[in-house]
Amino acid sequence: MIYFFSFFIVHYLLFTAFKMQHRAKKRFGQNFLVDTNIIHRIVNSINPQAGEHLIEIGPGLGAMTRPLLETVAKMDVIELDRDLIPQLESNCADAGQLRVHSCDVLKFDFAELVAQRASDTKIRIVGNLPYNISTAVLFHCLRYRHLIQDMHFMLQKEVVERIVAGPEQHATYGRLSVMMQTWFDVSPLFSVSAQCFRPVPKVESAILRLKPGSHWQDQILDPAAYEELVKRAFAQRRKTLKNNLKTLCDSDRLVAAGIAPSQRAEELAVADFVRLHSRLVETRT
Ligand code: SAM
């Protein structure tokens, strides 16, 4: 009942906002959620609990913020567009305590925020991400994986497909898939039609859940070296691993890790990358 009432309010506020004030800015990737059923479904998937530390990236006018805030009572949000903030605050005023960080999420230090709270509670990050920087946001959040309980993101459907792809899906599998699957259990939840946003985007969207703790993480002894290995392996997709990795390892070490030098990065599973990384770290001179 409380959800129903709050979605009604959000819907009304968003409708009024669009008619009267806010003109969506393309450079900030602004496509606002206006479909109350989808907002409800996303909030249900996040399943917020009182007392949890939720952080929303790009709250916009508060379509997701308000129902989340009503449950957790206190919430941090990171919003780059200063023009939106007064309206966001007013839309959420009676829902709980909103802490707005008016800055670029790519420069935001999640560790500092956690340190300020002086609590062991892990953070839950959510957001209908601006699509122009969504991959950069994922890599930024990756750095804070040790502080994260989970993340729920609205992304372009095509990006979700790339993240969850395996080596059998050559066209979509790549650096993003390997890096995300190495550190997170990734679960695509459901698709979201372009009609659920205003303005209507040109692409379809989907919700993705990422939970740290995939079984590979204990085997990555040097995360920076692993990231570099994956980056170089995919640097020129059509080239063999022998070519792409020539400054990192010779053919003998590839063979010793059970990988044929003539293979391409897109043919390796995450387990292969992890094994190669372990081998390289063990045989470092
Ligand atoms: N959450 C709102 C919704 O679902 O209606 C808005 C989502 S809209 C796709 C993306 C939001 O991210 C916008 O509010 C935009 O201003 C904000 N944004 C864009 N770039 C950002 C950045 N670098 N850091 C933080 N917020 C950003």
pLDDT tens for residues 52-99?
999 999 999 999 999 999 999 999 999 999 999 999 999 999 999 999
User: Residue 172: its pLDDT value, please?
Assistant: 95
Closest CA to 29 of 58, 61, 69: 58
265/267 Cα distance (integer angstroms):
5
174 touches ligand 1 (CB under 6 Å): no
Probe target for ligand 1 pocket from 30, 84, 85, with the most ligand atoms within 8 Å of CB: 30
Neighbour tally for 101: CB within 10 Å: 15
Q: Model confidence at 171, in pLDDT bands (50, 70, 90)?
A: confident
86/239 Cα distance (integer angstroms):
51
- The residues spanned by each domain of the chain are 2-214, 218-284
Q: Model confidence at 216, in pLDDT bands (50, 70, 90)?
A: confident
Backbone angles phi, psi at 153, to 5 degrees: -125, 140
Probe target for ligand 1 pocket from 43, 81, 103, 156, with the most ligand atoms within 8 Å of CB: 81
Query: Which pLDDT tens digit goes with each residue over 113-151?
Result: 999 987 889 999 999 999 999 999 999 999 999 999 999
60/81 Cα distance (integer angstroms):
8
Residue whose Cα lies nearest atom 23 of ligand 1: it is: 104
Model pTM score: 0.92
Domain 218-284 bears CATH identifier 1.20.1250.20: no
199/28 Cα distance (integer angstroms):
13
Residue whose Cα lies nearest atom 14 of ligand 1: it is: 60
Do 35 and 63 form a contact (C-beta atoms < 8 A)? no
81 touches ligand 1 (CB under 6 Å): yes
Do 61 and 87 form a contact (C-beta atoms < 8 A)? yes
Query: Which pLDDT tens digit goes with each residue over 19-37?
Result: 445 788 988 999 999 999 9
Instruction: State the closest ligand 1 atom to the C-alpha of 60, by its place in the atom list counted from 1.
Output: 14
85 touches ligand 1 (CB under 6 Å): no
2-214 architecture in CATH?
3-Layer(aba) Sandwich (3.40)
Q: Model confidence at 283, in pLDDT bands (50, 70, 90)?
A: confident
Which residues, other chains included, contact 98 with Cβ-Cβ below 8 Å and sequence gap of 6+? 65, 69, 75, 77, 88, 89, 92
Instruction: State the closest ligand 1 atom to the C-alpha of 58, by its place in the atom list counted from 1.
Output: 12
* Residue position matching structure tokens 């502080």: 147
Closest CA to 64 of 86, 31, 107: 31
Gap from CA of 163 to ligand 1 centroid (Å): 21
166: amino acid identity, one letter: G
Segment (H or E) for 154 = strand 148-156
